[in-house]
Amino acid sequence: MKTLIVVLLLLLFSVFTTYADWRKDSQPSDQLANLVKLVPGTSHWMFEIGERYKNLYWAAKLDRWEFAQYQVEEIEKLIKVVQLARPNRAETAQEFVETGLPVISDGVASKNWDVFKRAFVKLNQACMTCHGKNDHAFITLPVEPVTASSPVLNLPD
């Protein structure tokens, strides 16, 4: 019986040592290596950018210019996160920041649907150029999104 208890205690000890909290108990170099492994790819950030892209379009279409500007600002923040998380994509992301964002910011600032619409087409082109340069040309965005995801826009069902 004592042997069984010792064996169980050893097994229990090995389980706890196997699952030690590397965030607290590891060397800084191991912590950093694990954190780098945890940094996700860009797909989830790009998904959010896509949602903001649609909301941007519909905010402008519904004359919700302040909300449209907010979408532009959030897209820019997300692009900066992508640049930090994926340095290999930083250059093409910067090209997008420099070509797509100023044009769409001006389109939103105009508070004129026709001006905005032309700027949105250029934003779309900047998106597609970036996707193409990153081997994701198969991911295309509509120039006229049919829906928005934000309840702020109160789109009809």
**Residue 15 phi, psi dihedral angles, 5° rounding:** -65, -45
Q: Retrieve residue 70's tokens.
A: 């907010």
Average pLDDT over residues 97-126: 98
Which one is predicted more confidently, 55 or 13?
Answer: 55
> For residues 128 and 137, is the Cβ–Cβ distance under 8 A?
yes
134 DSSP 8-state letter: T
Q: Retrieve residue 112's tokens.
A: 């004129």
Which one is predicted more confidently, 32 or 124?
Answer: 124
Q: In the chain, where are the structural domains located? A: 2-38, 43-149
Q: Retrieve residue 55's tokens.
A: 């909301």
Q: Outline where the chain has alpha helix (H).
A: 2-18, 22-25, 28-38, 43-61, 65-85, 90-110, 113-133
**What whole-number distance in Å separates Cα of residue 135 and Cα of residue 81?**
19
3-state SS, residue 108: helix
**Residue 66 phi, psi dihedral angles, 5° rounding:** -65, -40
Q: CA 112 → CA 21, 25, 56, 97, 106, distances in Å?
A: 55, 57, 14, 22, 10
CATH architecture of 43-149: Up-down Bundle (1.20)
Res 141: pLDDT: 94
| pLDDT tens digits, 26-65 | 888 888 888 888 877 788 899 999 999 999 999 999 999 9
pTM: 0.79
| pLDDT tens digits, 94-109 | 999 999 999 999 999 9
Res 18: pLDDT: 62
With CA atoms as reference, report the closest residue to 39 among 88, 84, 79.
84
